[in-house]
Structure 1
């Protein structure tokens, strides 16, 4: 083309396109950048930009290629796009025609996580039909977590408030970094060897995807799947999901919620359980009394056969007196045990946060975290609350705050 020759836009664009497509170095390029403006149309084609600083490269990912890729673009992801450079003649812009797309950093971890999730799901590790119910009144609960974090403390507080009679076992483990997976698996095995726990909570506080990565390990997933007692997973915050959550029998959004999940929800059921213990104690004492009476009868028969009549009479009288004392002692013991059980029931009713509700009081908890609100200092305008009444609950929003004795309020 001569320098002074006039050429049309279409012809110039075509020549630029042919120039780019004729150079091999532009037909296989790998470009790194941040995905922006990712979108797909009904046709199944994807369009997005790769950005680095002020520079932007338009990219096209056709449906025929996209359907075979394990990863598709998301805004904000840093990726490496492989493909060829050419010109889109209608707009007169060059763009990258993507043949393969791979995420970097957090995106790579998410891709790895999704692939493992699909693998384990195909093997049936997430099957709802194999998930076990929690014991309604567990006598012993094990917790696999770090002994140094707030998680262990929070779980103890919840259980002490809701279910103070349970026996709690800590199975210490590392929950982040090198060796965490092995430590968690060893703690689970220790709980099973101990044999006392009826349910186990595996818990950790919130963190980044990298912080929680040990709970996405395939080895831990299979250990949870093989655990002989029900497992409750409480890893991270409510929005965090790990492979451990999918494999466990139950998933709780937070460690505190896990402690609530494994405790009785119905106070009447707990009282019924205590009454059952009272009946069982009575039956056991009655059985012991009957066995003692039978033993006395056998001894009397032996004495009748082996001793003179007057000695037998003396022994019989002494045995009758002993039986009377045993009857009195048994009656006194039964009364004392019944009084002790009644005292425990009254103590439980006093400890229950729902007892005052029947008298017209109510409980307020933060709707997001589930934590009880005990002071106006814990409230903020616009905060969502859940109010618990004796016969139900209601959600509300804080519109004004007023301290007692201030004579005024804060309005929003």
Structure 2
């Protein structure tokens, strides 16, 4: 019977096929070590416990949606698929989702961003702008359908009916909320449409209020030339926007009372059409998103995605190797130049003279042999601290140089 002999590639692909087709997506928990965010924004690290470890990778398309930054020593729970990296001949877990074990991912992301922005100075009192005493125009950056805007409009109309109110409707919850809020603040600054901005929403869970903990919103508030009041949630709720804003109000109603002086009450309501349009758009976006998800989960797309991921990893490895090789070459060339410089300095005539040697010249030419001299010649001798002129009286030749 003829023996079946595998090539390394055939064996690796057989193992890859067995692992990737027989192991379903699974949850895995372990400690992060050797964490690295590559320049390509792919995440590479190791998950380990007391007795074993496994390489892990999270591709950029998923990593950008991760609300926190993994760190060495952090315990993670990850959902992923076991994959084989053929070129390296090793298996790894391709991470689809990740969350901290214990403290929630949003809470960790909150603390990480808070510490980073605080270190950058975004919370400093020196950056806080004073509020105008009698604003003529007020911009409300909030949901057009929530209870918060109704409360603020009621209070503003009662306390200051003379004030022009500009409503910039935004989503205050969901995936696009942060971009919506930041765009509205930036647009208000471009067109200088108000003397003061109030941004906020009613209370809710950490997840509900998360848009106001996003870095893009914080930086839009910090860069605003118009004073910004943050009015998010209830009195006990704190967000990143609260720390960056020029004034933090405990509730949206309190913000409306703080921003204007008291005047007669007047009533105003928003059209429900904006709310219905937003709801219809959300349904349409959800429908299209479901279609996209079904397509991305198809077998054909997964195979192409796997090949793309293999090439991404190979590109990252090649980049790392090239960088290391270039650094080694530069180091060797630098050492060679330093050695050459030391040799040239050591053999320079000035260096030899300083050590006690002298240099004799005849008619401006260096004398290297007595055969170039005759009695009566005038020569010049250079020493370390000067020179003198002499006349050759006698010439003696060494026998061994004869």
Scaled by the length of structure 2, the TM-score of the pair is: 0.41
User: Which structure ranks higher in relative contact order (CA pairs < 8 Å, sequence separation ≥ 6)?
Assistant: 2
Structure of higher CA gyration radius: 2
Scaled by the length of structure 1, the TM-score of the pair is: 0.40
